[in-house]
Amino acid sequence: MTQLSLRAQLASALGRSAATLSRMTGRGDGSVIGGRVGLMLEPDLLRKLARDRKLALVSATNGKTTTTRLITSALLELGEVATNAFGANMPAGHVSALSTHKNAPYGVLEVDEKYLPEVLDTTGAGVVCLMNLSRDQMDRAAEIWLLAQKWRNALSGKPTHVIANCDDPLVTWGASTATKVTWVAGGQRWKEDSWSCPECGGPLERKDADWACRECTFHRPEPQWVLDDDAVIDPRGQRWLIDIQLPGLANRSNAAMALAVADAFGLSVERAMPRLREVTSVAGRYTTVERDGRQARLLLSKNPAGWLEAFDVSDPNLPIILSVNAQGPDGRDTSWLWDVDYRILRGRPVFVTGERRLDLALRLEVADVPFALCASFSEALAMQPPGRVDVIANYTAFQQIRSEFGRAV
Amino acid sequence: MPSDSALRIVWIYPDLLSTYGDQGNVLVLEHRAQRRGIETETVHVRSSDPVPETGDVYLIGGGEDRPQILAAERLRRDGGLQRAVTRGASLLAVCAGYQIMGSTFGGEEGQPVDGIGLLDLASARGPARAVGELVAEVDAALGLPTLTGFENHMGVTRLGPGVKPLSRTVKGVGNGDGFEGCYAGHVVGTYLHGPALARNPALADLLLSWRVGELAPLDDTRYEQLRQERLSAVLAQ
């Protein structure tokens, strides 16, 4: 942007150079290091880069990267958009995204759930999109009730327009201190973290999508947008078919959220929907890689709620390869495997690999799901008959598979 | 239809305390009983419902501060768990659930909160979060192999004379004084959260045997592979 001080311009430029170096030396995509360099030279850089832009922040446990991508795609209809497309969702990543697109009038930033209060405060973003909260990598992530409380504090008294999924009670509670909220009935498949009222701890009564506390007045707000299987109903009651290329109900929910965000930017569904259709894969998710006549479709899932969504997308007639690691980004604790109901895989050929395959193997044995244990993804792929196979992997396991295929996906 | 002879497994308050794969302990107990031909019936008791007194093995898991406080209040008011334990039921209390069994534990701001006083112990908030793999040698009187699992808590627990330490830590923090967990009668408390019984099948069998007597051996190859892989990875660090 033109208003940057000399110091901020320099910080921004040096950050971009560091990012380029990082890419050239093959160390990464550069979006974190570049931002770190910039922030070191000018701690207030994010605030300065955000000034005078129309920003949307996107946060949730699952679907952040995909929804960010969908919103970005929609807003391109209005003009240039700065975005952290590679999922570098902390302030360094935001600095990097905004520096790279200095003149973009719009910005769509994926934000780590814990960082949302800080990033909202710093950027003064006009729109915040909140989708879902569920247990995730508990050894390092904040506990989710606490997280929702911090969202409440951050949104309270701000003019920010919040677009929130009212089918998730915890998200609803987290968003409900905001001055202006557009509620989207975006669905909630994983309900194990919302049996009690976030407001008073009482039991939540659930009937279909509706929910209300039995002990206090907290209840599901009336949605303005409603996801209805393969369509979304807008606030004017008009029904739109969500015929996007990304598979599964979770992605249709992400699309419904994206359309509501686009609407907050003054962009109609009519203009936004074709843009959503242009998105075919997001940082390798949902792409198919091929080797020796085997086509493997890659699904990323990082926590119990994510596995439910991946099972929904997966074709029950295909064999399936599961790969689990427990490196830092995955969470070093594999306890969550016991929250996933694997019985749905009974009857399918199942192949288990990854650095923590023995954890998964025992989990499947206890669930009475037969499987073959494979030392590597290559070995698991080679065991398949020619044709299609689905792959579900958690974060670093997913990245390892992508690297093996030259990240060309 | 559940029969009168079925082993009754009672999972207490999964709506409040089920944060870290706690269901795993339920599944492992069911699986190990069923593989021996013991019929099981599992009851998930929500915090709005009374805790049945006639169960055989009770489980209570881990959770955040607020749900932990709510769970303690409701268990105290309900009294069902206390009566079941008096009748000789087995109980595995994990992490937040373990702390609740004592006289007091640390709340959201570290303030002391009343537990249910089922075990002679008191907990408070410690100086730092204990997160990571834990290895511990179990009290020889119990005849169990090395304990392995994952802990993630901020609690420090002091044991009174009414309970014995479950184990002595080799890696990890546990109670915070070189010991991990405790036991008394048919009750075991531990900071090893979630699927502790998946990593320690002998502990699962101990809880079962307290109710049904001697157990037939099982093919524990998968359990052993996981135990060995984890123990060697953690002890090599």
Q: A369: domain CATH number?
A: 3.90.190.20
pLDDT computed for residue A349 by the predictor: 97
Average pLDDT, chain B: 95
**Residue A210, amino acid:** D
Domain that holds residue A162: 45-277
Average pLDDT (B225-229) is 97
What is the chain A residue with the closest CA to B130? A139
pLDDT at B207 over 70: yes
- The one-letter code for the residue type at A79 is G
Please name the member of B23, B48, B152 whose beta carbon is closest to the beta carbon of A138.
B152
Query: To probe the interface with B, which of A355, A362, A369, A373 has the most B CB atoms within 10 Å?
Result: A362
Same domain, A157 and A222: yes
Residue A299 lies in a domain: yes
Task: Give the minimum alpha-carbon distance from B161 to chain A in angstroms, rounded to a whole number.
Answer: 32
CA-based nearest distance B185→chain A, Å: 28
**Domain end: A277, A306, A335, which one?**
A277
pLDDT for the residue A389: 97
What's the Cα-to-Cα distance from A408 to each of A45, A147, A386, B89, B178, rounded to whole Å? Answer: 33, 36, 21, 58, 50
- Please name the residue of chain A whose CA is at the shortest distance from the CA of residue B67: A201
Question: A88 and A63 in contact (C-beta within 8 Å)?
Answer: no
How many angstroms separate the CA of residue B162 from the nearest CA in chain A?
31
Share of chain B above pLDDT 70, in %: 98
Q: Of A256, A277, A298, which closes a domain?
A: A277
Q: Is the same domain home to A268 and A320?
A: no
What are the C-alpha distances in Å from A80 to residues A72, A341, B237?
9, 43, 49
CB contact under 8 A, A358 and B23: no
CB contact under 8 A, B195 and A338: yes
**CATH number, position A252:** 3.40.1190.10
Instruction: Clarify whether residues A253 and A395 are in a common domain.
Output: no
Q: What is the pLDDT of residue A284?
A: 84
A31 occurs within a structural domain: no
Please list every residue in chain B whose beta carbon sits closer than 8 Å to the beta carbon of residue A367: 27
Residue A63 falls inside a structural domain: yes
Distance (Å) from the alpha carbon of A368 to chain B's nearest alpha carbon: 9
Is A40 a domain residue? no
With beta carbons under 8 A apart, name residues in chain A contacting B65: 143, 146
Contact criterion met (CB < 8 Å) for B67 and A195? no
* Structural Rg of chain A based on CA atoms: 21
Residues A265 and A306 occupy one common structural domain? no
**Interface contact A138, partner B, CB < 8 A:** yes
Q: Quick check: is A59 in a domain?
A: yes
User: Among B31, B44, B95, B182, which one carries the catalytic annotation?
Assistant: B95
A166 marked as binding residue: no
Instruction: Classify residue B65 by burial, with Cβ atoms within 10 Å: 0-12, 13-18, 19+.
Output: buried
| A30 belongs to a structural domain | no
- Verify that A292 and A233 share a domain, yes or no: no
A198 with A49, same domain?
yes
Is A129 annotated in a binding site? The answer is no
Last residue of a domain, one of A223, A251, A277: A277
d(CA A59, CA A55): 13
- Residue A189 burial by CB count (10 A; 0-12/13-18/19+): exposed, middle or buried? middle
When divided into structural domains, chain A yields a total of 2
A295 and A259 together in one domain: no
Which pLDDT band holds residue B3 (cuts at 50, 70, 90)?
low
Same domain, A63 and A172: yes
Residues A298 and A251 in one domain: no
Q: How far apart are the C-alpha atoms of A221 and A176, rounded to whole Å?
A: 9
Question: Does any CB of chain B come closer than 8 Å to the CB of residue A139?
Answer: yes
Q: Both A380 and A322 in a single domain?
A: yes
Task: For each of the domains in chain B, give its residue range(s) and CATH number, in order of start.
Answer: 7-235 (3.40.50.880)
* Phi-psi sector, A364: left (phi>0), alpha (psi -120 to 50), beta: alpha
Question: Are A209 and A294 in a shared domain?
Answer: no
Domain membership of residue A237 (yes or no) is yes
Q: Which of A335, A363, A367 sits opposite B150 (nearest CB)?
A: A335
Q: Which of A336, A338, A359 sits opposite B226 (nearest CB)?
A: A359
Whether the CB of A405 is below 8 Å from some CB of chain B: the reply is: no
Asked if A28 and A34 count as a contact pair (C-beta separation under 8 A), the reply is: no
Contact: B48, A203; criterion CB under 8 Å: yes
* Cα–Cα distance for residue pair B130/A354, rounded to 1 Å: 26
In-domain check, residue A254:
yes
Clarify whether residues A107 and A215 are in a common domain: yes
pLDDT, tens digit only, all 409 positions of chain A: 446 888 788 778 877 777 776 666 655 666 777 788 777 777 788 999 999 999 999 999 999 999 999 999 999 999 999 999 887 899 999 999 999 998 999 999 999 999 999 999 999 999 999 999 988 876 655 578 889 999 999 999 999 999 999 999 999 999 999 999 999 999 998 888 888 899 988 889 999 889 999 999 999 999 999 999 999 999 999 999 999 999 999 999 999 999 999 999 999 999 999 999 999 988 888 889 999 999 999 999 989 999 999 999 999 999 999 999 999 989 899 999 999 999 999 999 999 999 999 999 999 999 999 999 999 999 999 999 999 999 999 999 999 999 888 765 4
* Residue B109 with chain A: CB contacts under 8 Å: none
How far is A18 from A42, CA to CA, in rounded Å? 15
